[in-house]
Amino acid sequence: MGFQFQFQPVLNRLDVLLDGLWVTLQLAGSGILLGALLGILLAMLRGLSGRPVRMLVDAYVELVRNTPFLVQLLIIFFGVPTLGLRLSAEQAALAAIIINLGAYATEIVRAGIESVHKSQIEAGLSLAMTRWQVFRHVVLAPALARVWPALSSQFVLMMLSTSVCSFISVQELSAQAANIESETFRSFEVYILVTLIYLALALVLRGLLAGLGALLFPAGSGLGRLRGQAGR
């Protein structure tokens, strides 16, 4: 075969990869933050509202979860401008990430909320807490503690999925990899390197999320004990 690995040409363009990495980090970071927020809000809304709202939220969740992220991305990127709304590739990508993660997060948090016992809510109400106070302290916090591992996995998956945004030429990590590949023709080397970068990112993100979980729901506290109890 005579194939020789040559990483040097690729390493020479490391600055380009770092640019891409930065875009990936921004996309993933803001997407995860906003997507998680959307999910929590919708799960709360669903928990507090009547049937029509519940059905709307469920429809959104089902639609998103049963279609590919790529297609969602393409609809937004190509479709929204036809409505007269100008959208950069980055904005389209961020919107798609938030919408996609929002649906998964809604579903996960909903499961957490539903695992909270009725008696807990009654206990809260009987202590003269308001509905909102009960929801926040008695329902939401334990629910999040329970589903934190499932949420974390979803965040990692979403971070990895940002690579799909290269399809609409967002210059994130894998798009920059393709750029280097077309300049250097060291395809395999580029993608091995970039794969390793993603792997490192995933490990770091998992570590950060585990740390955050321990911080938000400290071991030894009641919430710490719940952490991960109803992982999906």
Binding site for another protein (CB under 8 A): 1, 3, 62-63, 65-72, 74-75, 78-79, 82, 156, 160-161, 163-164, 166-167, 174, 177, 187-188, 191-192, 194-195, 198-199, 202-203
- Output the six-digit token pair for 206: 């998992």
Q: How far is the CB of 1 from another protein (least distance, A)?
A: 6
- Output the six-digit token pair for 66: 């049963």
Q: How far is the CB of 65 from another protein (least distance, A)?
A: 7
Q: How far is the CB of 7 from another protein (least distance, A)?
A: 14
* CB closer to another protein, 43 vs 140: 43
Amino acid at 82: T
Q: How far is the CB of 172 from another protein (least distance, A)?
A: 11
* CB closer to another protein, 192 vs 216: 192
How far from each other are the two terminal CA atoms of the chain, in whole angstroms? 46
Residues 171, 89: Cα–Cα separation, whole Å: 9
Residues 64, 72: Cα–Cα separation, whole Å: 8
* CB closer to another protein, 81 vs 211: 81
* CB closer to another protein, 33 vs 71: 71
Q: Would you tell me how many other CB atoms lie within 10 Å of the CB of residue 185?
A: 11
- Inter-CA distances, 34 with 39, 40, 92, 103, 230, Å: 9, 10, 14, 12, 23
